[in-house]
Structure 1
Amino acid sequence: MLEVELDIFSGMPNPTWTLTYEEEGELTERIQAAPEQVSPLNPSGQTFGLGYRGFIVRLIKDDNGPWSRYQSTRETPFPHEFRVGNVPTDAGSSVAQWLLETSAGRAGVDDELLSSASRGVNLIPPPPEDMPPQSGGSRASKQEQSFEGIRGVWLDPCPDANSLYWDNYATFNAPGVVEKNNCYCFAANHIANRRYALPGLRGGAPAQSMSVGQIASGLDADGWRETCQQPDGLTIAAAIWPGYDYHLYRLVTNGDEWLWAHKPGGTPVIHEDSSGRTLKRTQTGPYTDIWIHPEDCDRGEYSVFVGFYYQANATAKVK
């Protein structure tokens, strides 16, 4: 018996359903015809961003069905859990395309999710070769910036002496950890092994919907504040895909770069936005900078920025 997960959210549970016997047979035939479509959950050489990342297929019961029988014929059986959709293939034989076409109306898969997924797997492109400079200034105050036609404002984080920074992505990307901790776990610097940790759950007031008010209230219940905290603390940023999901970022280095990182769901931590631009400040000359940060970057479907939040902890416990 096979379970299918549409890997599209970062914080909230992904749509998941069980294939019928007939559907399992169809999927088995498609993979048998093109086994190269099967990939590890986090394949090397690919960097996933926010949004659609293909489908995760897992064996939940060995019941001598079509998939189990096919596995028994392979010299090297596939793992019990794998990804499809991230390897280019002919549309007619694509397992992911077939799963997408048969997913409508199942486990909450509506037109918006189908539309988002139909644009393809969100793989982070290589960073651009040349980025034009933009006017900037001292980080001691808000600076209005423009980059590639996008107007933004840089909000100075807490002073260096009052913030804690760890670019500890390797800890969260370790096997057995990466798939069990979501964006909130990383933002809070807490390996909680909570794949769907939720703002407010630890504080007794879990977010009830993916709205600015609910996510803000949930973070407040968990001890996050909108002003710098003493003596030392974490700096994070929150955004939402309205009605569907939330996503969190963490500031991981101090000035002059101010590097941010984030973890899209159960995939590895990254430093880039959805356009492949590194989330940091780049000095391009004595008086010119490029600022790319969570409030003013390409967040894909996470179009509404909630705010910056702070907590006076090296690790903010989450549930």
Structure 2
Amino acid sequence: MLRITADVFSGRQNPVWTVGEERTARNTLRALSEGSELLTEDAPARAGVGFRGLLVESLSDEAAPDLRLGSTTYLPVGREARGPRAAELAERLIGLLDRVDTSLDTEEGVSLPEPLRPFLTTQLTTATEEGSRSGASIQEGGQETSESFTAAATCYYDVTPFNPGFWNDDQNTRLHNNCYNYASNWRNNTFAQPGRGCGNQYTALTCAEVGRGALCDGMHRRYDCFPDSEWPRHLVALVIWPNTDFHWYRLQSEGYWAHKPGSTAARNVDNSNRVINNPETCDRGPYTQFCGYFYGCHTQRQRIR
């Protein structure tokens, strides 16, 4: 039996499907073994946001040992893929959706805008095309904003040094904290969702709804000041993959921004591997809508879950 996870989201839990038929599971593992040079142990450090790859976990010990595969293996796609055959192998794994049930974090009450297989196939095509380009250009984002983080601040906020090891060195920490945990600087292993802590989680993947959830947790929009008693007050930015997912960035004391895409490593670079000096203009992959800036605070970060 196999469990396959599409590593595609940053804020939401990733979609997961299980292959229960043993012959299909073994044939899939054999195909992975024959393409072992395409595989890694985990998501590449520079995988970025968007469709990063597929995690394959063997749930029984009958097949993997003689095929020289570990109990888990990862197939990167897009710019981090190890060869053109990676897309073919990814298509095979996605194709298994035709015969299995899927789990897509239904507890959130927010569905994908289309069935899972065509959605992932489209994202795979996009990731492969982007991976084949040289010198990817910076994406400006799909929504204008009237504010800039370089504007004259009328509120005090707090910044801390970039400390990726705090989020990356322990596997359990890395897997169970997402971009909202990182933006809130609160490592509570809940894969936090805006509004869940206050009992009023977002109901749509839009700037308005995800922003409302964060405000309900206790964030403020920029220039709506917090008192000193709410230290630390972090400056963060929200972006949206329209109707699909959300993502957050946090300003660090070095002057750049950092983020944690889903269950992957915290980093301070964008999808073009450039240091993030401005979240409005960095390469954000499919997260084309820039929603604006917010402040986190002590009360808010202790509330998130």
What is the TM-score normalised by the length of structure 2?
Answer: 0.78
Q: Is the 8 A contact 2:33 2:69 kept in 1?
A: no
Q: Is the 8 A contact 1:240 1:247 kept in 2?
A: yes
**Bigger CA drift: 296-305 or 103-112?**
103-112
The structure with the largest alpha-carbon Rg is 1
Answer yes or no: is 1:197 the counterpart of 2:192.
Answer: yes
For residue 78 of structure 1, report the CA deviation from its aligned partner.
Answer: 3.4
- Cα pair distance change 1:127/1:168, threshold 3 Å: farther
**Bigger CA drift: 10-19 or 222-231?**
222-231
Answer yes or no: is 1:29 the counterpart of 2:25.
Answer: no
Aligned partner of 2:263 in structure 1 is: 266
Q: Is the 8 A contact 1:104 1:114 kept in 2?
A: no
Answer yes or no: is 1:11 the counterpart of 2:11.
Answer: yes
| Greater strand fraction, Structure 1 or Structure 2 | 1
Aligned partner of 1:70 in structure 2 is: 63
Answer yes or no: is 1:303 the counterpart of 2:288.
Answer: yes
- Cα pair distance change 1:301/1:148, threshold 3 Å: closer
Please list every run of 5 or more consecutive structure 2 residues that lacks an aligned counterpart in the other structure.
103-114
2:116 counterpart SS class: coil
Alignment RMSD: 3.2
Aligned partner of 1:109 in structure 2 is: 116
For residue 181 of structure 1, report the CA deviation from its aligned partner.
Answer: 0.8
- Cα pair distance change 1:171/1:27, threshold 3 Å: same
1:275 counterpart SS class: coil
Report the count of equivalent residues: 275
For residue 229 of structure 1, report the CA deviation from its aligned partner.
Answer: 2.1
AA aligned to 1:49 is G
Deviations 1:257-315 (A, max 9, x none): 621000111111111222222112xxxxxxxxxxxx11222211111112111033298
For residue 126 of structure 1, report the CA deviation from its aligned partner.
Answer: 11
- Cα pair distance change 1:5/1:149, threshold 3 Å: closer
Q: Is the 8 A contact 1:162 1:230 kept in 2?
A: no
- Cα pair distance change 1:277/1:51, threshold 3 Å: same
2:43 & 2:58 partners in 1: Cα distance?
17
Deviations 1:139-198 (A, max 9, x none): xxxxxxxx898998633374795323231222011122112211111111011112x310
Aligned partner of 1:228 in structure 2 is: 225
What is the TM-score normalised by the length of structure 1?
Answer: 0.75
1:154 counterpart SS class: coil
Answer yes or no: is 1:118 the counterpart of 2:103.
Answer: no
2:290 counterpart SS class: strand
**Bigger CA drift: 218-227 or 172-181?**
172-181
- Could you tell me the percent identity over the aligned residues? 24
Pick from 157, 164, 180 the counterpart of residue 169 of structure 1.
164
For residue 29 of structure 1, report the CA deviation from its aligned partner.
Answer: 1.9
Q: Is the 8 A contact 1:230 1:312 kept in 2?
A: no
For residue 127 of structure 1, report the CA deviation from its aligned partner.
Answer: 9.3
AA aligned to 1:237 is A
- Cα pair distance change 1:260/1:207, threshold 3 Å: same
For residue 201 of structure 1, report the CA deviation from its aligned partner.
Answer: 0.5
Please list every run of 5 or more consecutive structure 1 residues that lacks an aligned counterpart in the other structure.
63-67, 132-146, 281-292
**Bigger CA drift: 98-107 or 301-310?**
98-107
AA aligned to 2:296 is Q
Deviations 1:110-149 (A, max 9, x none): 53432122233677x9999xx9xxxxxxxxxxxxxxx898
For residue 6 of structure 1, report the CA deviation from its aligned partner.
Answer: 0.8
Deviations 1:225-259 (A, max 9, x none): 01232324111111111111100011111xxx621
AA aligned to 1:39 is T
- Cα pair distance change 1:237/1:18, threshold 3 Å: same
| Greater helix fraction, Structure 1 or Structure 2 | 2
Pick from 267, 276, 279 the counterpart of residue 294 of structure 1.
279
Aligned partner of 1:279 in structure 2 is: 276
